[in-house]
Amino acid sequence: MNKSQKLVLIKWVHTLIWLFFNGVIFYLYYAAITNTINKWVWIGIALVLLEGLVLLIFKNVCPVTLAARKYSDATNDNFDIYLPNWLARYNKLIYTTLFVIVLLIIGYRVMSW
């Protein structure tokens, strides 16, 4: 594999990971809204928190981005993932905000039991 092919592979892997976490967060919203707090909610929360821990360990940079950096000198925010540049730029802010909101809803639901 040449550098370009490796970068394409990394971009696909990164995009699939991003899609997975989107699914997790939107499932958490569904569970919060429908008040179906079950083990999958707690697993989803743990997965998102684990992702946050990884980002903290890597100083707010995804390790997949670090791997992609070996194969590209691009400066755009979406060089390592198949997302629009604006979404890649604000991804952490958007999804952290969504996650905090869902945690507040779930916290309210749990406190109301």
**Could you read off the pLDDT tens digit of each residue along the chain, which spans 113 residues?**
999 999 999 999 999 999 999 999 999 999 999 999 999 999 999 999 999 999 999 999 999 999 999 999 999 999 999 999 999 999 999 999 999 999 999 999 999 98
- What pLDDT is stored for residue 113 in this prediction? 84
Q: For the whole model, what pTM was predicted?
A: 0.93
Task: Round to whole Å and give the CA distance between 49 and 62.
Answer: 14
Task: Round to whole Å and give the CA distance between 24 and 75.
Answer: 29
Q: How far is CA 80 from CA 19, 25, 46, 47, in A?
A: 14, 22, 25, 22
Q: How many domains does the chain have?
A: 1
Given a contact cutoff of 8 angstroms between Cβ atoms, the answer to whether 98 and 25 are in contact is yes
- What pLDDT is stored for residue 58 in this prediction? 97
Among 106, 102, 80, residue whose Cα is nearest residue 91: 80
Question: Domain range spanning residue 102?
Answer: 3-111
